[in-house]
Amino acid sequence: MVARPARLTPPVECVRLYDAEAQLDGVIAIHSTAFGPGAGGCRFWSYPDADSALADALRLAEGMSYKNALADLPFGGAKAVLRKPAGDYDRAALFRAFGRVVEGLGGLYVTAEDVGTTVADMQEIAGVTRHVAGLPPAKGRAGGDPSPWTARGVFESMQAAAGFALGRDLAGLTVAVQGTGHVGAELCRHLADAGAKLVIADPDPVRRDRLRAILDAQVVGVDEIATVEADVFAPCALGGALARDTVAALKARLVCGAANNQLATPDVADLLHERGVAYVPDYVANAGGIISVSAEYLGEGPAEVAERVAAIAPRVAALLERAAREARSPALVADEMAEEVIADAQRRAAA
């Protein structure tokens, strides 16, 4: 899971997580509190060592700062990364131990679902801290699994980007979707409803084949999906999908997906631009999930979530138009925009 290095100030705080009895091992990285508490999901994954978990947490936390800033949310950026134990473990005890650390931060960090975690995990955390979202929704309130909102935002971003970069809507276009988890599968459903042709890949054959049967999708290998004949490539798995060799072989003319940290190295953004591939920066397109989490934590309802998610696609269109006008990569333009917003908030806070 590699991605661009951090460019702003160092994290506000990095909290090492370790509880031998609960088999908790990981880190909370709080990158920015310029707008409020650091907000970002809790990732639960099989990292080979503590250093790789820390590196991923730092990159993901920075991405959350950028995402929350451009989505105009009253939160900074943060991320928790937990290492999945190799053997048997008590999942509930592990997440309660994590929740106790979140509670000890006194509201500096707000957690929610991410890769590998569920609503049930958030309920365990909620037993020991109130600084958690992604819980079953109360009547009239936002809540629940935020992944459908993420998928909706990515789908609408792709629609806007296809109109700008390809001059047409998604009907009849071939979209290659890498990863059919919660977000990827929901995105595929939206795409099928819009008349797109689907090519999918996922290491889990059960969920991949279920989706193929339902949506009449073509299945290819995980190592093929990025370079198949397609109009759009949608990375919806883990980070680093866009490496130099992948981009060199990319046939799609538009990249828009849900995965975080899609660029394996910063220079890949330039290579996409040089090849004439339109790229929608991940943290702009995939903000629907954190928008839902934010609304839930603030006590808002689904209407507020829908309104903010509906603003993602116009933001994408404006970004692509500015990047084209300035003859620069959308990734660089989006980074600058987010950094300007965060720096301005930091200046105001220091005044």
Which residue numbers are catalytic? 79
Torsion of CA 160, 214, 180, 79, to 10 degrees: 80
Q: Residue 150 belongs to what H/E stretch?
A: helix 147-165
Q: Provide the token pair at 91.
A: 């999942």
- In terms of C-beta density within 10 A (0-12 exposed, 13-18 middle, 19 or more buried), how is residue 72 classed? middle
C-beta separation of 59 from 6 below 8 A: yes
DSSP secondary structure string for all residues of 236-286: -SSS--B-HHHHHH---SEE--S-SS-BSSTHHHHHHHHTT-EE--HHHHT
End-to-end alpha-carbon separation of the chain, Å? 38
C-beta separation of 102 from 111 below 8 A: yes
CA dist 29 and 199 (Å) reads: 35
Q: Provide the token pair at 256.
A: 């828009």
Q: Which of 96, 38, 27, 95 is nearest to 62 (CA)?
A: 38
C-beta separation of 232 from 255 below 8 A: yes
Residue 45 contacts by C-beta under 8 Å, 6 or more apart in sequence?
Answer: 53, 56, 81, 82, 83, 84, 115, 116
C-beta separation of 217 from 211 below 8 A: yes
